[in-house]
Structure 1
Amino acid sequence: MILSKMPAAKVSLRKSRGGVFEITVDGRLRFSKKSAGRFPAGDEVLACIA
């Protein structure tokens, strides 16, 4: 989904434990499942990186 909307984006997946899901952009945390208590909704991922 991300690459189809933003082909120049560099996306990586890092293995972790405990259900951690974070979105970082240029080293800055933009979304944290732990802080929000939920996964991001559909277009919320794109909004975080735009």
Structure 2
Amino acid sequence: MAATLLTSLKQKVKGLTLVPAGGGCFEVTVNGELIYSKLQTGTFPDEQSVLESVRERLKR
């Protein structure tokens, strides 16, 4: 997923941080705003939906 984000948004993303964690935690934040949490949904996100959510946040 990180590679997809960087490849698709390379002109808009200034940095990407991966934070290893245990316990099934997978969260995506953009500029401090949580846009996806596996802990809340119980499922791993669809890569395309995360990409679209990140694109929307970067437009702001």
Find out whether 1:26 has 2:1 as its counterpart: no
For normalisation by structure 2, the TM-score amounts to: 0.74
Shift of 1:42: 2.5
Residues 12-47 of structure 1 deviation map (CA, whole Å, 9 limit, x = unaligned): 110112010000011011100011110111301101
Match of 1:6 in 2: 9
Instruction: Write 1 or 2 for the structure with the bigger share of helix.
Output: 2
Supply the RMSD in Å over aligned alpha carbons.
Answer: 1.1
- Once residues 20 and 48 of structure 1 are traced to their aligned partners in structure 2, the CA distance between those partners, rounded to angstroms, is 19
**Identical aligned residues as a percent:** 34
Q: Which runs of 5+ in 2 are unaligned?
A: 56-60
- Once residues 36 and 23 of structure 2 are traced to their aligned partners in structure 1, the CA distance between those partners, rounded to angstroms, is 16
Misfit runs of 4+, over 6 Å: none
For normalisation by structure 1, the TM-score amounts to: 0.86
Q: Which runs of 5+ in 1 are unaligned?
A: none
